[in-house]
Each structure stands twice: as C-alpha cells, then as structure tokens.
Amino acid sequence: GQNIDQPTEMTATEGAIVQINCTYQTSGFNGLFWYQQHAGEAPTFLSYNVLDGLEEKGRFSSFLSRSKGYSYLLLKELQMKDSASYLCAAQDSNYQLIWGAGTKLIIKP
C-alpha cells in the first residue's frame, strides 16, 4: 500500500532550527513535495525534491533519500510566523499526490 508518515506535532523555539521528518512508501515515485498550511488557510507550495540531496531555499531546506524513502524539511532561524502545519506529499507513478497527515509546528518565544 501507499503510506506517508510524519510526526503529528513538534515544538521549537524562536530563532532555533527544526527538522521535520517524513517517510514514504508509494507505487512508483515522481518526487516529494512539502507544503505549509497556516490554520484556516489553504496549503502553499514550499519545495520539491526528486533527486537525492538537499535543496536550499532561503531559511527552508528540503532533503531527499530515495533509497531510504525519506525526506526532511529543515527550517532555520525560526520565526513566530512559521507556526503552521507542514504537509509532506509523495507523487506516485500516476503523478497523484499521496498526502501525509501533516506536522503541526508550534514556535515558542
């Protein structure tokens, strides 16, 4: 079957670094997406990885290991506005997204 696992909730301190992990099992694989969703709003696209390695985009970086079925989203210099849910989604062979349940990130001052 197809499955995405990510932690339900994480807490971090303003200014710190946090890593949100995601493991996936899909029928075929065409990439791994990360989305950010603030409470009461729709998700917004953050990053896409299809090759192994780290993709850096400002304070946010995303890593992929295809052989391990593993990805993480790294957030640096955390700000209060980063409090949100972070959704991991793997794209299967039909280009359909298989969604994780999301990780709620709580930032404390």
Q: How far is the CB of 87 from another protein (least distance, A)?
A: 7
Tell me the chain's radius of gyration from C-alpha atoms. Answer: 13
Is 101 an interacting residue with respect to another protein (CB under 8 A)? yes
Work out whether strand 70-75 and strand 84-91 pair parallel, antiparallel, or are unpaired.
unpaired
List the interface residues with another protein, window 32-91 (CB under 8 A).
Answer: 33, 35, 40-45, 48, 50, 87, 91
Q: How far is the CB of 15 from another protein (least distance, A)?
A: 27
Q: How far is the CB of 70 from another protein (least distance, A)?
A: 20
Structural tokens at position 36: 């950010």
Judged by CB under 8 A, the residue of 7, 29, 31, 76 near another protein is 31
* Residues 91, 31: Cα–Cα separation, whole Å: 5
Largest CA distance in the chain: 43
